[in-house]
Chain A
Amino acid sequence: MARQWTLGQKIAGSLALPVTLSVAIGAVSIYTLRSVVASKDRVISVNGPLLADAERLHFHLEQKSAADRAFFLTRGNEFIDQMRAARGEFAAVIERLKRNVGSDEERRLVDAIERTEAEHQQALDQVVALRRTAISIESVGRAFDEHVLPKREQVSASIGAFVTREEQFLGEARNASSETASFAITFMSILVAVLVVFAILIALALTRSLSRQIGGAVGQVQSSSAELQAAANQQATGAKEQATAMNEITTTISELLASSRQIAESARQVAKIAEQTAAAARAGGGTVHNAHDSIAGIRRQVDLVVDHMLELGKKSQQIGAVLDVVSELAEQTNILAINATIEAAGAGEAGKRFAVVADEIRKLADRVAGYAKEIRTLIDDVRSAVNTTVMATETGSKAVDTGAAQFGAVTSVFKQIAGLVGTTTEAAREIELSTKQQTSAVEQVNAAVANVAKTTKETEASSGQTLQTASQLATLSRELLRLVKPQANGATHGA
């Protein structure tokens, strides 16, 4: 069963071999470079200084030669000192060369230089001694040419042999270093080539594996991003609808809050008015009670008025009866006067004077009858007025009775009103309290709804961000898929 490698493991595994090879290359390179460096160091630190010291030997030898020539020319002792100083420097270089040379051949060459220089110095000392004598310069010159110059040539030859040998060693060391470097370059080139081959193979394998694995994952990511985009769309739509609904709810709650406050204010006004009404009802009850007492007094006065009016009616009836008698008397008197007139007319001339009396009597009877009629009219008016008054008074009495009864009912009703108003006041206060609590609750709900609306807006924004992210993810997944599977991406686009 093949082991399922993770992406990291694959990448790590893919990088492990190149890294190993790189380490090997590095190790070889370091080793080679160290060898080259060692060769170089050896050339620089050994052969180079030896050559330099050989050149210094030439230099000091030339200084010594220049100083002895100057002595020969001037016979100045300072030149002898210069010559000794140069010879001291020469000796110091010889001593350093003896310490630094590594081979017997070089040591032998150095000994030859030292020996030839000693011989040169010996010859030179002899010539110097000659110069100090009174021998001519030409003799000294000849002695110098014969004894000193050959020695100097020997010294220069031994130094040249040493230089030649050192240059030979230097060439050998350079060649060895070059060979080492060439070997290292060749080996490293081989390793690099192997590393490149392995890297290409690993890259191909890794590319195929990762393309397969990442392509599948990216496909899933693309599918998921599409689903996420759809979900984000739905969520954004839902969030917008929810935001709209929350706005409407907020508006409604604001209106409800205003209504609640108005109801509370109205309830407070109702309670206040109810208290005023209760006070008015109590005052009205007292007023009605006083009015009831006043009506009882009116009732007694009305009874008295009725009694007096009835008495007046009786008196009027009596006056009417008397007036009937008077009218009857007047009528009879009139009849008598008329009959007397008739009789007087029948009595002839003697009756004329009686006729005058009878006529006066008749006139009086007429007047009495007329006054009786007027009195009758007045009596009738009085009786009618009395009757009307009695009826009105009785009606008023009944109205008073009814009013008294109604006042009792009104008093009871006022008490009932006061009780009901008290109940109304209590109810209005309860309504006010409840409405205030409701207002507080609505305010809390409003605050909560505001928070929810804010959250909804944030959700809406987050949904939009999610949608944007999903879109970007979808685009990114397509880009990634196009990167890892161009043909698949082309197929997807084609589909």
Chain B
Amino acid sequence: MRGGEVQFELRPAELRLAFDQSFAAAPQAELLEFEDLLAIGVDGDHYAIRLSEISGLFVDKTVARLPSPLSQLRGIAALRGALVPVYDLRALLGYSAGESPRWLVVAARTPVGLAFDAFDSHLRMPSTAIAAAESAEHSRQHIREVLRSEERAWPIVSMASLIEAIARLARRAGAKQEK
């Protein structure tokens, strides 16, 4: 408890120093070669999503359910003045259905929302930390790359693959409805 008090007493100074240094130093060239990713949690497993592949992160948004033959579709949500269909990332990755996810991201190129269970943190990692996934590591669908650090490895969910899969599912469902 005593150490905790000392720690709290020292932190404001450290924070102030770090904050000031972030604005005082010039951007380093090597740091420009990095990747921004979001560390998320799906059914207890850790995954990463490239920040460049999404257009926004949202939490606790109301998802209105729609009658749909697609079980992966959780409904539609109003985000930044537009209606976006929201799919369950857990179902798309092959997990069984669970409770309603709090978090969702919107794909950058296609206005499709992907709901997931937990948002862990924002990761800024060197590009060299990302490697192609080995066969054993992409047992799940839509995993092609893996982000590795000294502590942990995050399978990177490919938004493009997910969008393609959703498109296929939508087409298939439309075809069924037309029939």
Residues of A within 8 A of B (CB): 331-332, 334-335, 337-339, 341-342, 345-346, 352, 356, 359-360, 362-364, 366-367, 371, 378
Contact = CB atoms under 8 A, between A and B. Distances in A.
B59 interface: yes
**Main secondary structure on A side of the interface with B:** helix
Contact of B121 (A341, A359, A366, A371): A366
B19 A364 contact: yes
Given A342-B108, A366-B122, 9 more contacts: A335-B58, A338-B122, A341-B122, A342-B55, A345-B36, A359-B124, A360-B19, A363-B22, A378-B4
A352 B32 CA distance: 10
Most interface-central of A342, A346, A366 (chain B CB within 10 A): A342
Given A359-B124, A364-B19, A366-B122, A335 B51 contact: no
Contact of B51 (A332, A342, A356): A342
Interface string B66-101: 000000000000000000000000000000000000
Contacts, number: 41
B27 interface: yes
Interface of B: 4, 11, 15, 19, 22-23, 27, 36, 38, 51-52, 54-59, 108, 121-122, 124
Given A356-B27, A367-B15, A378-B4, A342 B56 contact: yes
A331 B58 CA distance: 10
Contact of A335 (B23, B52, B57): B57
Given A331-B59, A362-B122, A341 B51 contact: yes
B36 A341 contact: yes
A360 B16 CA distance: 12
Nearest to B52: A345
15 contacts: A332-B59, A334-B122, A339-B56, A341-B122, A342-B51, A345-B36, A352-B27, A356-B27, A359-B124, A360-B19, A360-B23, A362-B122, A363-B22, A367-B15, A378-B4
A335 B57 CA distance: 6
Contacts of B36: 341, 345
Given A366-B122, A378-B4, A338 B19 contact: no
Most interface-central of B27, B54, B57 (chain A CB within 10 A): B57
Contact of B54 (A342, A363, A366): A342
Contacts of A339: 56-57
Contacts of B124: 359
Given A356-B27, A366-B122, A338 B57 contact: yes
B38 A338 contact: yes
Nearest to A381: B1
Nearest to B27: A356
Contact of A338 (B23, B51, B52): B51
Most interface-central of A332, A339, A345, A346 (chain B CB within 10 A): A339
Contacts of A360: 19, 22-23
Contacts of A378: 4
B88 to A, nearest CB: 20
A412 to B, nearest CB: 46
B121 to A, nearest CB: 7
B135 to A, nearest CB: 32
Contacts of B15: 367
